[in-house]
Chains A and B, each alone.
Chain A
Amino acid sequence: MIECEVEEEFAFHLEARTEALIAEGLPPADARMQAASEFGDLSGARAYCRTRDRSAERRRRSFEHLTDLWQDVRIAVRTLRRSPLVTIGAVASFALGIGATTTMFSIGHTLMTSLPYGEVDRLFLVGGYDRSRMTRLGDIGLRVAEARALRDESRATAFGAFEDWPVHLGDGKTNAERLQGSRVTSGLFATLGVRPFLGREFVRSDEQVGASPVVVLGYRAWRDRFRADSSLVGRTVRANGVTARVVGIMPTDFSLGGLDAIWTPLSLERGVLATDTAPHLRMIGRLREGFGYDQAAAEVARLGMQAVRERRGDPAREGLHLFPSADWSVQPEGRRAVYAMTALISLVLVIACGNVANLLLARAAARSRETAIRLSLGAPRAALIRASLVEALVLALAGGVAGSVLAQLGTSQFGRNVANGLPTWIRFRVDGTVFGFALGLVLLAALASGIGPGWRASRLDPLGGLRATERGSTGLRQGRVARELALVQVALATALLLLAGLIVQGARRAVGRDPVPSPQQIANLRIELRRTAYPTAASQAAVVGRILERIRGLPQVVSTTASTATPGFTGPPLEFTVGGLPKDPTTPLIAPVSAVTAGFHKSFEIPILEGREFEVADREGTGRVAIVSRDFADRFFPGRTAVGGTIVVGYPGDPSHPGEHPAEPATIVGVAAGIPSIDGSVGDRRLIYLPYSQVGDERVAIAARVEANPAPFLKSMRQVIFEVDPDIPVFGDRVLADDYHDARAPVIFLAALFSSFGLAGLTLASVGVFALVAFGVRERSREIAIRTALGEARGSILKRLSLAMAIRIGVGLGTGATFGTLASPIVGEVLFSTSPSREPGVYVVVLALIGVVGATALLVPAVRAVRVDPMAALRND
């Protein structure tokens, strides 16, 4: 085209000029030559002009595409506005699907926010490593000597060490306050790439023996406790019973290992720390300039081998390894679980896409006459597909906007309800990445639901379409794909609902009962005893006894007790052996252990099923005793009484047995009833109780059951503790019922979140099945009318109409149930330890629910169709 045009234009010019020159009197040959010479570079001009024309053509065409697209959008909007109910349904489907998926993604994305340190990709954590399985061992601590070896000998990595180290900050006027923080080696903050907001961090001289005590405060502690007084740096505070100088304030979002209130110096030098032998230290390192990860990892593995050998471990089996610091906030398994959950939740969106595709297909069928005309008039098939895609896109965009709002709500609610314990730098909000994800979903959804109907419309045989319309049925018939869509939707909805049911059931189990009766009458607080002031179990038991006695003297107190773990919150899991059972070195026995005072079980109304509870007579110097839970007794003393049996527990708080030395055997004197768990973490219900007077501990929870309102009573308890020792910090003072409520809030919220996802899936799928059946019935209305007129029984027609779909729903149910069962371990891993085998009730309810909903969606349109007067139906054609 373009080639010819340029040629024709030039030819016209040359001929006209030649004629003019001949008219002026030149001979024809000369005239032609003169014209050509005036024209100049003909082939150059030809090439140039063609290029220009082609580019102009391209621009024109893309402009036309744009106007066509705009036209499509306007048509789509107009069509959609004509049937508002259907449109709202489709948009709502998309909104639910996109909202649910984006919420889950946004939560996962936020949990994986990188640490607020500089150049986090060069920061690594030292962790235990199982060589044989090549997996990470749980958070293992390092000994001082091991940490020193890493710090001094590593060439590739600059290491710093830290350990949890709370500080009691007192002013002598009120109870001391307990600030959560760590001891850190000098220069660690610089290694992390964080500079103090005010003042300086620790230097080598702060670590020296005899150096004057110094602390660095966290931003929030500084703001809340010292009213953001910038003159605080250089002044002194009373920390852990000594006077210490504040040398720095850290910036707002800084936290280390999740703790963010206060830091004190840690020395790795030989003999400085009393806890030289206990492995408590964690290490973080930054790759030095010019070194890569591989070199650093090899070095750590080598140094770790020595460490393991010194521990008399097996260097062939375990060692040390460098883990990316990103693993700190969310472990790789957690990350996988989050992705798996996102994928599961996206099933809601898949169902929604099915609905919208079905809707567009029905719309396309209704328009098949128009489509046939357009096709026979030469409309390109691509234009038909594009129109369908645009319609889907308009719906998906509207759904995406609404879905983003839902995701924003869901995410911030999640942050409020679930994320209480997370570090401050993790903020739950919808950011650019999440928004991009939502936009991606919109495009995917539009493509998934728009391409099928568009494709089918474009394949319509124009003649067939026109003829079919004349005969009153539609040119586009419900395709095989559309019918299988019902199967898929039912399957997905079943799977979703099943998983949601498992979660809800797990949550119900979790929140069904309070761990102890009437927690709203129990005032509960925690204290911490400093080792320097209370070094032995006897001295700890003495001061706790004094506090309990004085609280008991307060008015309206029914009973009071102290323990290292309030019922419902389990104590530390510790290794134990049972007398008479051989010790298996490969799988040590572990159970949560609490140290409790006499009268603990009576006070919390935990029944003693056998034997007796602890008495005041069980104290240091008398025979060691223990109480175990019924589950424990059933497991280790099957078929006989546990009372009289012996167990050995290595209790770390036991001052007479520091470290890993074996403890004395304790005689079991009683068996207590189990305690319902509080947050769905069913865990191990095999509990061991030891008398606090025999083992002691630094951290103690003190509870008082009172007749009055326990909230104001907590103040009196604080006062009593202040009078006994003003340096003992009091924290976590709450009514026990409130503690339980907070602990359950995430469970309840997650259950609500997931059941709403499940219900959304069910609603969408039932609407989908209903629409599919209604569509199928409508296209056969003529056939139904003829059959009825010919006297076929309604029941038989009904069967003919719905049998195929009923079979599909049945197959969908089965497939969904299987899929849901296969996927259930993911749910169990992330949320609660539920399992399909424990919840047959969930299966019954879900299958019945889907069955009823499916049958209704199936029968309502079919029954309506056979009830129609056959003559009326035929006349309507």
Chain B
Amino acid sequence: MTVTTDSVRSALEQSPELDKVESHLHPAGSFVVADHEVPTGREEIWRFTPLKRLKGLHADAPLDGRNTHATWNAPEGVSVGVVTGDEATSLRGVSGWVPNTRFTARVLAEVPATLLVDVPADVEAAEPIVVEVDGTDADTTSGAHVVLRFGRHSKAVVVLNHTGSAAVAAVVEVVVADGAEASVVSIQDWADDAVHLSHHQARVGRDATYKHAAISFGGDLVRMDANVTYDGPGGSAELLGLYFADAGQHIEHRIFADHTAPRTKSHAVYKGALQGEKAHTVWVGNVLIRKVAEGIETYEENRNLVLTDGCQADSIPNLEIETGEIEGAGHASATARFDDNQLFYLQSRGVSEQEAQRLVVHGFFNDLIRKVGVPSIEDRLLTTVEAELAKNVLKDVGSLAAFGSDS
């Protein structure tokens, strides 16, 4: 669609509270599936994604397959369960999400059930709520709708852990009520043939804190959009990402921090490593500071470490600013190979080249892993990084005894 300056201006005048901003980065939304054409790959929001490998999830693949098995725990005071019928219907769009992609519109319209994690007001969950999603068949396609609801002044960590083989289109809607402290960790540790197309949409309440960590290691194609909007002033969002792409893998992460309220914060840090032929990662960071969003702070950062030849890392930070009255806004993006000087320094202390590389990669991810803030996950991530390194950088190293954990 063509947008003229006039049409934008008139839109702004009509709704000064939440101005409508037209941009190719976030096309207009609709709940009606027919309003969304099947993407061709030429659209800005699809141009990096190899659509052919999506098994039709972006188009018209059936979403009623049974190819995942979910289990979970529910700490005291928290309810976790599958809801259907009117209750499920009432939860569609609860995060304020109006689909701007065909697959999210289809998930909201066609998937009959919703997995609802409900943390009532004032409840502090004693332990993380872990939802294990295990894929059983990569040849069937399915859709999933998940709602994570954090009540006023509640505090909880929800972990979505994806393993096995499946082709899944998922919409995860997160509602963080006023004053709540919510952490959502989504781990994509799929088998090599899995396809995962997902959209995470969070609505962050007044003075609420939201932490979202996207961790992608496995799968043939993983794409996740992690979006945030704000319900009131004082909300804060931390968007973290860690990914490790091997030969042939496509891992794509997009974030969109839509500053819809004043004095809100967003801070995004995504770090990735790539190794092997045709390992491809994409990071697209979008931040929109709307006219109403005075006094906000935002920073987005993406760093990639290219470990071998034949990899491609795309990294695009975008910042759209509609008001000059902001506290701070910035972004950084860097993609590099090993720093020869770092390796020389470590080697000059007797450390072998491969072990030096290993130290550097661990160092690269360490700060980020600590920020995830869930001890059981941190240990697991360190182990997973180690396993990924073993595939390539360290495949010839016999003993790794010298490397100790940081104490």
**A-B complex is real:** no
Which residues does A use to contact B, with CB under 8 Å?
none
